[in-house]
Amino acid sequence: MNLAKLSSILQTEPKYRFAQVNKAIWQDFISSWQEVSNLPKALREKLEEECPLEIRAELDINKGKNKSVKALITLIDGEAIETVLIRQKDKRNTVCVSSQVGCPLACEFCATGKFGFRRNLSSEEIVEQVVFWARYLKAENKDEKVDNIVFMGMGEPFLNYAEFIKAAKFLNNPETLNIGSRRMSVSTAGITEGIKRLAGEKMQINLAISLHAANDNLRKDLMPIAKKYNLHEILKTVDNYITKTGRRVMFEYLMIKEVNDSDRDALELAKLMRQPLYIVNLIPYNETGRFKSSSRERIEKFKKILEEAGVAVTVRLSFGADITAACGQLRGRKK
Ligand code: SF4
């Protein structure tokens, strides 16, 4: 979609055309201008020619047990990004979007990190991922829609802050998808400048920190970015964010077998996480080669240690080990 082009075409049209077009794209989720019967034929053809709505995507054929689906979207320059639709039992739908093609942070446990960084996504390319799934849901079941958005796909959103926040504001706009900001979450590897900027936004987007280790040494081994942002600095920035916003912050902790999942790791993590508005989310690791996932028993024991220390903790079912969903895995397979 080229929204600038669309807007310039509509400049010469009567004002009410904007409302018709907005409804068609953002509420009816059309994928061809021919579907908008209330537009004149000549305008439909011009839009089809100069502003096509097609989103080139390939669905992952392995539908997971949890009915989550993954898609590989091909962008205008031939680059490919992943996006996932997570379908919950209560019929709520969460879309996980990518914010970059590849990722410069090269975390050891991440398939995306292995591809290196290609480029930032534009806000339109981020929005397009949500629109893709909105169309998918409409085609499948007219009652379902996109309820939540998580900026947790390929890339580090805070290294593409301007486009990330532009996309979030666009998706929040009542004239487009009207998705409440409290229904959006962004995850960062700890880019403190981004946390500070988010604290200053009027939007109430949920913040998650990818922690994955309870000390700087292990964190540096797993996440090279930890050499630049240490835990003390990240937690200080998060505390300031909480003071300013009064919002809870989630700390994501991948459970990696014999790497970060010992009792000692849990006790060390508990010391860091004793803050009323912190919540720890333990995530079974999607195996990508070098590392293995902690066993269910180990995760339960780890959780118990945190709970006994007074830390709020949840265990997230990994969004889709069964749909090749560790970020970057689908892209890697297709390439
Ligand atoms: S885990 Fe996230 S931040 Fe780390 S390399 Fe992968 S996409 Fe980038």
Per-residue pLDDT of 246-289, as tens digits, reads 999 999 999 999 999 999 999 999 999 989 999 999 999 888 77
Positions annotated as catalytic residues are 82, 327
Q: Give the pLDDT confidence of 178-202 residue by residue, as tens digits.
A: 999 999 999 999 999 999 999 999 9
**pLDDT attached to residue 211:** 96
Pocket of ligand 1 (CB under 6 A): 103, 105-107, 110, 112-113, 154-156, 189, 327
Res. 329 pLDDT band, cuts 50 70 90: low
The residue with greater pLDDT, 327 or 282, is: 282
Q: Is the CA virtual torsion 242, 243, 244, 246 positive or negative?
A: positive
Distance in Å, CA 217 to ligand 1 centroid:
18
Mean pLDDT of 210-239: 97
DSSP three-state, residue 96: strand
Mean pLDDT of 36-53: 94
3-state SS record for 12-60: CCCCHHHHHHHHHHHCCCCCCHHHCCCCCHHHHHHHHHHCCCCCCEEEC
To test ligand 1's pocket by mutation, which of 109, 156, 229, 291 has the most ligand atoms within 8 angstroms of CB? 156
DSSP state of 162: H
The residue with greater pLDDT, 298 or 89, is: 298
**pLDDT attached to residue 90:** 80
Residue nearest to atom 5 of ligand 1 (CA): 113
**Helix segments in 173-262, DSSP class H:** 192-199, 216-222, 231-245
Is this structure's pTM higher than 0.85?
yes
